[in-house]
């Protein structure tokens, strides 16, 4: 595919995926999801048969939570992907529509940070948390860091600029995505003070 531009990339079950945009007719562009199974020789990119929604660009791999990859559509809807179902567009929308989007996995939660410039010309980030089990979204206070450099594995540390790391309390990480229990209201969580 000449003239293809990469939008997002991710790995799921030892298969690499890339979403590319390419010109089709009279300057119109289409998004396709390509996959490469690294366990098969020879390796080659194969086009997915599932339609691909318009996704926000991401400079870091999309997060995997519970066997699904999560992303954000250009219209602000949260989307997820697995090889059997393809892309699923949820009715859940991120509260703010910004171009600088970063998605991070925190247990069974998806942290969505969206970059903006405030009235004093400071770089700020809107934060919201999407519960991948209940589908609920919690809007968090804006922060001066957005984790746009990605995350270490396991998902307990978030890199933030300038050269700092913020750690997630392991007690807040969901035990296992297959258990589907333990949705605790935020007010019931007790975090020990240092």
CATH number (domain holding residue 143): 2.120.10.80
pLDDT, position 11: 85
Look at residue 68 and tell me if it is in a domain.
yes
Range of the domain at 172: 53-177
Would 38 be classed as within a structural domain? no
Is position 21 within any domain?
no
pLDDT, tens only, 22-32: 777 776 778 88
In a domain, 90, yes or no: yes
Residue 182: inside a domain: no
Q: What is the reported pLDDT for 113? A: 84
Residue 82 resides in a domain: yes
Q: Domain count for the chain, please give it.
A: 1
Kindly report the three-state secondary structure assignment for every residue of the chain. CCCCEEEEEEEECCEEEEEEEEECCCCCEEEEEEEEECCCCCCCCEECCCCCCCECCCCCCCCEECCEEEEEECCCEEEEEECCCEEEEEEEECCCCCCCEEEEEECCEEEEEEEEECCCCCEEEEEEEEECCCCCEEEEEEECCCCCCCECCCCCEEEECCCEEEECCHHHCCCCCCCCCCCCCHHHCCCCCC
Please indicate, yes or no, if residue 137 is contained in any of the structural domains. Answer: yes
Instruction: Return the top range by mean pLDDT from 60-64, 79-83, 190-194.
Output: 79-83
Overall pTM > 0.75: no
Asked whether residue 193 is domain-assigned, the answer is: no
């Amino acid at each position: 595919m000449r003239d293809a531009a990469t939008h997002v990339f991710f790995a799921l079950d030892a298969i690499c995926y890339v979403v590319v945009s390419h010109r089709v007719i009279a300057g119109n562009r289409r998004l396709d999801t390509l996959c490469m199974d690294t366990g098969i020789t020879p390796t080659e990119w194969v086009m997915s048969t599932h339609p691909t929604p318009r996704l926000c660009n991401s400079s870091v791999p999309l997060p995997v939570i519970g066997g699904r990859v999560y992303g954000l559509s250009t219209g602000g809807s949260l989307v997820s992907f697995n090889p059997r179902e393809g892309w699923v567009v949820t009715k859940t929308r991120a509260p703010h529509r910004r171009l600088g989007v970063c998605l991070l996995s925190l247990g069974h939660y998806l942290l969505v940070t969206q970059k903006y410039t405030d009235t004093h010309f400071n770089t700020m980030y809107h934060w919201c948390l999407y519960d991948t089990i209940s589908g609920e979204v919690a809007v968090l206070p804006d922060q001066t860091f957005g984790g746009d450099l990605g995350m270490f594995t396991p998902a307990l540390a978030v890199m933030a600029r300038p050269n700092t790391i913020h750690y997630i309390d392991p007690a807040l990480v969901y035990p296992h995505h297959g258990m589907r229990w333990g949705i605790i209201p935020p007010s019931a969580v007790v975090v020990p003070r240092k």
